[in-house]
Chain A
Amino acid sequence: MFRSLARLHHQFGNALSLCKRRTNHHHFSCSLKYSSVATERKRFYQDVTISQGEGGLFEINLDRRKLKTPGGKLLTVPNEALAIAVATEWDTQRDSLKFYAMHLTTLCNTALDNPTQRNEDQMISAALKFLETDTVCYRVEEPYGLVDLQKNEWDPVLQWIENRYDVTIGSSSSIMGPDIPQATKDTFYQHLKSYNFWSLTGLEYVITQLKSVVLSLGMIDRYLSVEQAVLLSRLEEEYQIRCWGNVEWAHDYDMYELRARTAAGALFVHLSSEGSTVKRKLLQD
């Protein structure tokens, strides 16, 4: 156990010192720091607990060591619910740590380390870029079964979001996609301005998973469940599965992964936006 701790420390130490030396080579040091995510490591701790540290932020403890981000910062989260969810991810790892399956931890790391060094404006424009090529806006002209399916399944969501935010989006079957007016983009920009950095991190993650701003906002606003949003995002694939059959090791595998990632992102947005349910209920009691 001690040896692996030492090794961990050694790696972090290395990454840190590299970071200091190569401040002008951000990309290099970042890819080096995050390379450990893909590999598995033996579980080196017994107990996982949470504690409330300075400023009311919550920390996660592995035995008596505090959990840190790959960038070397202390991993602190804004509320108890998120801390417990992250701690549960660490607690449920059996023999080896599967970092690729610990989505909430990954999101916390991203929000804390901000490895791409972006500010909120840049994140909002990156997220809204997906609106121009939104999955639900692109329609096919054949086969007819899929045309009907897209119309019946996607149109209600489009209608809902157009009413909810009072915008025009529309759909198109041309390769250029629909012409989305600037007013629509401005409205969404203003809306996303109200998100804090953590919830923006989560929202952008969800949007890149579902490849759709419309479906993501539908899910965050509780119009769609995670399962529905993932189904709508994979509509064409589901249609092909219906025609040609389901392959468990490709289709189901992808679907469960997408569901897990999307759910993690949505939960992350929910738990890190201010005025969470938890606090309100505690005050009422």
Chain B
Amino acid sequence: MAASPSSLRVYRGILKELRAMQGQNYKQSLAYNYVTDQFRKNQVTGERYCRAQQEALHASQTYLCLLASSRNHQALHNLYHAKGERNPEDVAGLVGLRLPTQPGGKGWEK
């Protein structure tokens, strides 16, 4: 039985995440070798219903979710939360508002 389409998709997904995290040298990493090895071992089986394979598929989907979510979370963190506290103008801008401007500065009306 060849690898099912869904497991191939997960496999590609994990490799994509590894490359995003480790750059061009990702093929030398421990994780790359281990994941490739595991997917090769699990795709050759004559059993019609293989519990171990189901287990491996679920675990690999979980790992893919861990890698992808961590990356997305980090990206959002860097974009919105990494710069410390915002100034009032930026805060107003976040909800689509602008601070009122006063031509002569504060207390100009007097």
Contact = CB atoms under 8 A, between A and B. Distances in A.
A and B are partners in one complex rather than unrelated chains = yes
Interface of A: 48-50, 80-81, 84-85, 87-88, 91-92, 98, 101, 103, 222, 225-227, 248-249, 252-253, 256-257, 259-260, 263-264, 266-267, 270-271, 277-278, 280-282, 285
Q: Is the interface of A mostly helix, strand, loop or mixed?
A: helix
B42 A281 contact: yes
A226 B31 contact: no
Contact of B76 (A50, A98, A248): A248
B34 interface: yes
Contact of A84 (B34, B76, B77): B34
Contacts of B94: 249
Interface in B85-106: 94
> Which of B21, B55, B73 has the most chain A CB within a 10 Å cutoff?
B73
Interface of B: 18, 21-22, 29-31, 34, 38, 41-42, 52, 54-56, 58-59, 61-63, 65-66, 69-70, 72-74, 76-77, 79-81, 94
A34 B14 CA distance: 31
A257 B69 CA distance: 7
A148 B52 CA distance: 37
Contact of A91 (B29, B62, B74): B29
A50 B69 contact: no
Task: Name the residue in A49, A277, A280 with the highest tally of chain B Cβ atoms < 10 Å from its Cβ.
Answer: A277
A80 B53 CA distance: 18
A49 B29 CA distance: 9
A90 B44 CA distance: 32
Nearest to B59: A270
Given A88-B31, A281-B42, A285-B41, A226 B61 contact: yes
A267 B62 contact: yes
A259 B69 contact: yes
A98 B65 contact: no
22 contacts: A84-B31, A84-B34, A88-B18, A88-B29, A88-B30, A101-B70, A101-B74, A226-B62, A248-B80, A252-B76, A253-B80, A256-B72, A257-B69, A259-B73, A260-B65, A260-B69, A263-B69, A266-B62, A267-B66, A277-B55, A277-B59, A281-B42
Contacts of A88: 18, 21, 29-31
A256 B69 contact: yes
B31 A259 contact: no
B70 to A, nearest CB: 5
A256 B74 CA distance: 9
A92 B42 contact: no
B30 A226 contact: no
